[in-house]
Amino acid sequence: MKTIWKGAINFGLINVPIKMSAATQKEDVSFRLLHKKCRQPLTQKRWCARCGKEVPFTDTVKGYEYEKGKFAVIDQKDLERLPVKSAKYIQIVDFIKLKEVDPIFYEKSYYLTPEAAGEKAFLILRDAMKDADKVAIGKITIREKEHLCLIRAYDKILCMETMYFTDEVRSSEPGEMKKIEKKHKVGDAEKDMAAKLLENLTAEFKPEKYHDEYREELMKLIQAKIDGDDTVEAAPVETDNPKVIDLMERLRQSVEATKRKRA
């Protein structure tokens, strides 16, 4: 697995050097935008309206728009000087019970594995969390954003879930639901019937049982288009520098053409 972050888990006076890799991957079907008229793929460019030209990525910097059209310019050195421990460490704050965390806070999963220098400390931390039936809450900075995170024992390694902070979780608007509850009274018979339905549909969770049916049907549609030759081929795009137009030569050709028309 590709390592996307290196650092250490820090708890108490102990540092556990680790490397982090993505635990999941999206299996999306991606499309490119084509020009409806000629079916040519469209390209997106970093275009500078002031200079009137395309800008390579190496000539870009980050800007924070603090007012409309006004930016504070931030470069990589500015970010590296930020006094935030979570930029280099997963700073463990508390150990808690997993059931105390609502899944709405979860964002993305990562696998944590030990570096050579931290193998024993990694095993000690993993086993202590297993034995105590606890998970760790900490902080980590990934791509210039600090995340709340949860670390738990998973199989033989540790798994980290990045989490949303409280102010990033939107209100569920309980006041609106109270109005609906007053409007519709649910009787005991309806509750009993719903409970029986839930019982009939209760099963053991087996992840392999569930499939992305939309993606499967979409791929069938795409294959049918290919098999039926319902396709287009993009025209080759000239990548060489455009030829410099000789204005005098064009004018000469135009004069000659107009002479022939008059003759």
Whole-number pLDDT of residue 261: 60
CA distance 138 to 24: 21
Q: Are 219 and 29 in contact (CB under 8 A)?
A: yes
- Two tokens at 225? 């288009």
Q: Residue 106 above 90 pLDDT? A: yes
**Between residues 187 and 144, which one has the greater pLDDT?**
187
Instruction: Fold for 1-26+70-202, please state it.
Output: Ku70; Chain: A; Domain 2 (2.40.290)
Q: Residue 249 above 90 pLDDT? A: no
Longest dimension (CA), the chain: 101
Identity of the residue numbered 72: A
Identity of the residue numbered 97: K
Q: Residue 244 above 70 pLDDT? A: no
215: confidence class by pLDDT, cuts 50, 70, 90: confident
Whole-number pLDDT of residue 71: 87
Q: Residue 79 above 90 pLDDT? A: no
CA distance 13 to 47: 50
Q: Phi and psi at residue 247, in whole multiples of 5°?
A: -60, -40
Q: Residue 105 above 70 pLDDT? A: yes
CA distance 193 to 186: 11
CA distance 111 to 18: 10
Q: What angle do CA 210, 213, 218 make, to 5 degrees?
A: 155
- Provide the percentage of residues in the chain whose pLDDT is more than 90: 41
What is the arithmetic mean of pLDDT over 231-255? 64
- Parse the chain into domains and list their residue ranges: 1-26+70-202
What is the arithmetic mean of pLDDT over 73-91? 77
User: Residue 5: which of 121, 150, 128, 144 has the closest Cα?
Assistant: 144
- Two tokens at 257? 């053409």
What is the arithmetic mean of pLDDT over 90-100? 93
pLDDT tens for each residue of 130-174 = 999 999 999 998 877 889 999 999 999 999 999 999 999 998 878
Q: Residue 204 above 60 pLDDT? A: yes
Whole-number pLDDT of residue 217: 86
Instruction: Locate all alpha helices (DSSP H) within the chain, ordered by sequence.
Output: 76-80, 119-132, 174-183, 188-200, 213-227, 247-262
